[in-house]
Structure 1
Amino acid sequence: MLESINSNLNDYDPNYSYADGVYTFNDDSQALYLEELIKSDYPETLTTERRTVIVASFKSNQNIASIISEIKEMPGVIDVLDSVSGQLLIKTQGKSYLNFNSQAIQSIRIAACRAIFTPTDFRPDVQIEGLSVSGNSYIFTSNDSYSFFNTAYEMHQKVIAAYDNKTFIKKEYDYGCFVIPNKGLLREMQLKFVSNKRIRVKAASGLVEFYPADYNNYIELLSQVRQHCGESLSIQEPEYHPSVAIKLLSDDISYCKKVYKEVAEKITEIALSFTASFEMMKHVRFSITLLSILSWKN
């Protein structure tokens, strides 16, 4: 069944991705084609559901020089690089991890972490599981800042073991960050959209999730959020990629409710018909009995 669906999609437009039962497309025409294909070819077996989620970041329009200055004063920090897009790259020396409990760090969101291990006598033939190679260094990256420290330590031990403890391994840790805008304003916005099921503002992380029905709806949702940004905030506009999930009809709650209702109605009809027939039979039997009695008396 899946092979047939994919074959039809490839004939229409092969530019899509598939994972865990969800197709992600470049535009709504591809998503619409899949939905119509399922309705046409598998009406009694399958159904579809839009699963489009687009995550955007808020950007602070304030001067972040003071935040950068505070971070540079933290122990172990080598440098802080600022990009035009408002992203920060914090570099720390090998003996120190970034202190996430620092007051300065409360103003930023860690988006990605990277550990760089550079042996003094790097050998390109030494490959280490879980690490990529860049130049003369081994690289480990993670989007999970909470588990990064423990995993980076394990990776460092792997590099040491791979080189038989006979060489010095230079360490450097980098953190890709975004400055979190005014949380008070974001909390107000989150409260504003709390009942809107297509917009979910996350004030603590400076993010907003959109659940659009289609591209036009996505533009409308972006516009709604921008109306509350004011001058101190701006928001990215990630590319729109619709996602469609294929589900068994038996797993669809609304379909199951519909079937249950139809079955219940049929059972009720049968029960009423049976009751009516039973009452009729009682009357017929009574009439026959009465006639028999009268005939016996005569």
Structure 2
Amino acid sequence: MREKPNISLEVSEGMIIECITDLYINPKKSIIKWSKITNQTAQGKFAYPSQHLASLITKTKGGGSTARGDDLADGSEVKSCTRADQLNECKKCGANILTWQNKCPYCGSTEIKTDISSHWIFPITSDSELDLLLNKIPRIILILFDKEDIKKDNIRIRAWTINPKEKYVRDFFTDYYENNYKKKISEGKDPAPCNLHPLKYDFYLMNPKLIFHTEIMENEAKILFWNLDRPQEQPMVSSLLVKEKLIEIYGEEVRNLKKEDIVKKYPFISDKDFSKLEMKKKILKSYKEKYQRR
């Protein structure tokens, strides 16, 4: 009988910093260098480097697979996205602006719209894929590269765990599959994949737990938080709710207040009020618009 392999890793903070430096910081520096020469995109593809990082953060070896198979040897699913180096847009003329450019190369405007639309993608195209996600995967690990201040170069990397057994996690993905994917397929359309947007309403309803947080400043990474045994709870941010919902939660005493004043008084939704939140109706989209070169 084959001996069960050891899937655990001995990991130090130094190893994680070295991994981030080798697989993210240095490649990012190189692609920006060549982007300035070629004027091509400065956005790298960091899905697989994120899996290396997930293995170190969770102290769990990978499944040895690429697109198919387990991301981690314990069956965990790893999803990553970056909002740190997306293509931006000039507010004045609408031209594309590369991440390292601080003014429009066409009109010279410094009014830049920063794109923060990147999200985690979950392709769910069959009953078996939904069953795998909700019933066979022990945890979902979400990794996000972003900037706390879009005007600065500092980048943060955070990782959360999501439990597929959480009621809202199950409701969210089941709703997508039953009421979006299957509906579009029955109409002969091509459905968009299931998108989970970081730091938005659906994300917080999934009861995410922060297990890792590092900051990259001047090309040096510093770990601010890393704890698998005592992760940080991430309460719902009240600013994501409409005013009427805030009144429903906090009562008539807040009706005459502006929404920003209610949010200032109650920045987060408490555990006792969390049950008052429900799933928002989803907008059905087809995938994708036909590509056009202007």
Normalising by the smaller structure, the TM-score range is: under 0.3
Which has the larger share of helix?
1
Q: Which has the larger radius of gyration?
A: 1
TM-score (norm 1): 0.26
TM-score (norm 2): 0.26
- RCO comparison, higher one (Cα < 8 Å, 6+): 1
